[in-house]
Amino acid sequence: MTATSRPPTFLGLPTAQRPSLPTAPRGVGHLRGDRSFPDAARDALRDGQLRANLGHATSTIRAKRAAVVGEVPDWEELRQAGKALKQATMARLDELLVQLEEQVTARGGTVHWARDATEANEIVTRLVRATGADEVVKVKSMATQEIGLNEALEAAGIAAHETDLAELIVQLGEDEPSHILVPAIHKNRAEIREIFLRTMPQFAEPGAAAELTDEPRRLAMAARAHLRERFLRARVAVSGANFAVAETGTLAVVESEGNGRMCLTLPQTLITVMGIEKLVPTWQDLEVFLQLLPRSSTGERMNPYTSLWTGVTPGDGPQEFHLVLLDNGRTAVLADEVGREALHCIRCSACLNVCPVYERAGGHAYGSVYPGPIGAVLSPQLTGVEDNASLPYASSLCGACYDACPVAIDIPSILVHLRAEHVEAQQRTTPEAAAFRALSRAMSSPWLWRLAQRAAGLGRFLSRGGPTLPVALPPPASAWTRSRDLPTPPRETFTQAWAREHGR
């Protein structure tokens, strides 16, 4: 049902010059890897346990998503409405942000603006310090992962406790997140048990470890016991936001475990960090996204808990509320007419779960907190394509991500667009460009072309009758054959066959 109307992938026509706006700064946050995607992926592919864990988890979630999406007769209409609403939001983003600010302020909240990760981290640190607290509880948030808030708080002597189960697994294991929804997707139950036994004080007592099996229910109970007291004593919480409604100033956090509710309800002070693109214009618009997100994300008809709040409510929940609006390269993405669609993302992670590249390489290979297909189009735009140059190529352009996307982001077309941008930005001639130039010359001259074909035919003796050649080309062409097989050249060319059969 979702694969009804896929238009052909946009094949990168020359683009108009986009205005140059500041991208996410280097040296702060988690948008850049220290290795290229192919290098990181090669290591990941050698990890059999990782591949088994990812294969199991992604196939589970694909089946669940397909079932709950299949039972919605108007899924495609919802999807198109979601896309149009996001386009409408981007077209009036300045106006809507000002409206949101007015509404939040009118209801007792304080709005802060952050140009980039560094500024957002400074704002949050200052706000936490002003409360006198030396620890915060955190609701899972991609924006705060993106800006490296935990590290910034730690440097300021403030402990940040992740409370989402998967984030907790990653934090306790001193690991990196590898999935948007389930950052610990690369760990299986036995590995999670090991981390808990090693790091949770409750299992330090002799004999206590025996109580913890690798049964998911037992592991969830261990997390409950570990965090309960922290929730009850916390004075400050930090969250992200799934949506913000400009018309009413309402913020929304969508979650499952109740850790979000604990953080959004119990502390005196709540600080929410939100990317400027998370906006929707009106309250009514949430009716679309609250249907699209849970079914695409965890494959549920509705997630267990959604919290919606507007400013401060006397006698109920935090009495001090701060909203930090984060740019960090988003306006640079907005400046690209093709690429800006990446800002429509509602972080469901459906594209990761259906991606054959993600399923094999895993999230760490992408080097950014945004992995998978959406990460491959978002990260290079937030940082500037030169800082994540290998990501637009981390795809086979199969289009499964586009079909799964609940707001119909045409990820394959953006990938091709970014590849074109990357190629155009090359200062020096690459071996690939030189090879194509030579090919272009050969193909422009009949006798050169025939000569080249005959020369290639000599390669047949290497094939020993197989469909591919068992050799890699020498450098610099080895970069090409490293991830591709060279087909065995045919016995005769088409022209030769034609001449033979038609006697010309």
Partner 1 sequence: MTGARDEVLGRIRTALGPDRRPAPEVHRHYRRSDGRPVAELLDVLTDRLEDYAATVLRCSPEAVGATVAAALDAGLGVGWAPAGVVVAPGLPAAWRPDGVSEDDGRPAVGLTAFAATVTGVAVAVAETGTLVLDGGARSGRRALSLLPDCLVCVVETGQVVGGVPEALARLDATAPLTMVSGPSATSDIELSRVEGVHGPRTLVVVLMG
Q: Specify the residue, 32 or 83, whose C-beta has the smaller distance to partner 1.
A: 83
Task: State in angstroms the smallest separation of the CB of 68 from partner 1.
Answer: 10
Q: Specify the residue, 80 or 493, whose C-beta has the smaller distance to partner 1.
A: 80
Task: State in angstroms the smallest separation of the CB of 230 from partner 1.
Answer: 11
Task: State in angstroms the smallest separation of the CB of 415 from partner 1.
Answer: 21
Question: Pattern of binders to partner 1 over 164-183, x per CB under 8 A?
Answer: xxx--x-----------xx-
Count helices and strands in the chain by DSSP H and E runs = 22, 12
* 227: helix, strand or coil: helix
What is the rounded distance in angstroms from the CA atom of residue 441 to the CA atom of residue 418?
27
Start-to-end CA span in the chain (Å): 51
Residues with Cβ within 8 Å of residue 176, at least 6 apart in sequence: 30, 170, 364
Task: State in angstroms the smallest separation of the CB of 355 from partner 1.
Answer: 15
Interface with partner 1 in residues 334-393 (CB under 8 A): 334-335, 340
Task: State in angstroms the smallest separation of the CB of 19 from partner 1.
Answer: 5
Task: State in angstroms the smallest separation of the CB of 462 from partner 1.
Answer: 45
Interface with partner 1 in residues 36-55 (CB under 8 A): 53
Question: Pattern of binders to partner 1 over 446-485, x per CB under 8 A?
Answer: ----------------------------------------
Interface with partner 1 in residues 425-444 (CB under 8 A): none
Task: State in angstroms the smallest separation of the CB of 439 from partner 1.
Answer: 38
Helix boundaries (H) for 11-74: 37-45, 48-70
Q: Specify the residue, 91 or 438, whose C-beta has the smaller distance to partner 1.
A: 91
Query: In sequence order, what are the beta bridge partners of 137?
Result: 161, 237
Examine residue 301 and tell whether it contacts partner 1 (CB under 8 A). yes
What is the rounded distance in angstroms from the CA atom of residue 454 to the CA atom of residue 87?
53
Q: Specify the residue, 86 or 399, whose C-beta has the smaller distance to partner 1.
A: 86
Q: Specify the residue, 240 or 399, whose C-beta has the smaller distance to partner 1.
A: 240
Q: Specify the residue, 39 or 77, whose C-beta has the smaller distance to partner 1.
A: 77
What b/e sequence results for 121-155 when a residue is b if at least 16 CB atoms lie within 10 Å of its CB, and e otherwise? Answer: bebbbebbeeeebebbbbbbbbbbbbbbbbebbee
Using CB under 8 A, which of the segments 3-11, 108-116, 473-481, 483-491 binds partner 1? 108-116
How many other CB atoms sit within 10 Å of the CB of residue 64? Answer: 15
Q: Binder to partner 1 among 28, 37, 99, 112 (CB under 8 A)?
A: 112
Examine residue 66 and tell whether it contacts partner 1 (CB under 8 A). no
Task: State in angstroms the smallest separation of the CB of 159 from partner 1.
Answer: 19
Q: Specify the residue, 224 or 450, whose C-beta has the smaller distance to partner 1.
A: 224
Q: Specify the residue, 281 or 459, whose C-beta has the smaller distance to partner 1.
A: 281
Interface with partner 1 in residues 81-100 (CB under 8 A): 81, 84-85, 87-88, 90-94, 97-98
Q: Is 50 exposed, middle or buried, given 0-12, 13-18 or 19+ CB atoms closer than 10 A?
A: buried
Q: Residue 161 in contact with residue 179, Cβ under 8 Å?
A: no
Interface with partner 1 in residues 315-344 (CB under 8 A): 315-317, 325, 327, 331-332, 334-335, 340
Task: State in angstroms the smallest separation of the CB of 145 from partner 1.
Answer: 15
Q: Specify the residue, 192 or 416, whose C-beta has the smaller distance to partner 1.
A: 192
What is the rounded distance in angstroms from the CA atom of residue 428 to the CA atom of residue 433?
10
Examine residue 256 and tell whether it contacts partner 1 (CB under 8 A). yes
Interface with partner 1 in residues 190-249 (CB under 8 A): 192, 216-217, 219-221, 223-224, 227-228, 231-232, 245, 247-249
Q: Is 47 exposed, middle or buried, given 0-12, 13-18 or 19+ CB atoms closer than 10 A?
A: middle
- Number of chain positions touching partner 1 (CB under 8 A): 103
Using CB under 8 A, which of the segments 31-39, 113-121, 443-451, 480-488 binds partner 1? 113-121
Q: Specify the residue, 112 or 364, whose C-beta has the smaller distance to partner 1.
A: 112
Task: State in angstroms the smallest separation of the CB of 14 from partner 1.
Answer: 18
Candidates 163, 125, 128; CA nearest to 261 is 163
Question: Pattern of binders to partner 1 over 393-422, x per CB under 8 A?
Answer: ------------------------------
Q: Binder to partner 1 among 69, 78, 352, 409 (CB under 8 A)?
A: 78
Q: State how beta strands 243-245 and 250-255 pair.
A: antiparallel
Candidates 159, 318, 333, 170; CA nearest to 253 is 318
What is the rounded distance in angstroms from the CA atom of residue 308 to the CA atom of residue 249?
10
Q: State how beta strands 109-114 and 320-326 pair.
A: parallel
What b/e sequence results for 339-365 when a residue is b if at least 16 CB atoms lie within 10 Å of its CB, and e otherwise? Answer: bbbbbbbbbbbbbbbbbebbbbbbbbb
What is the rounded distance in angstroms from the CA atom of residue 431 to the CA atom of residue 180?
36
Chain center to CA of 196: 26
DSSP symbol at 313: B
Long-range contacts of 211-214 (CB under 8 A, 24+ apart): 214/189, 214/190
Q: Binder to partner 1 among 7, 14, 27, 73 (CB under 8 A)?
A: 73
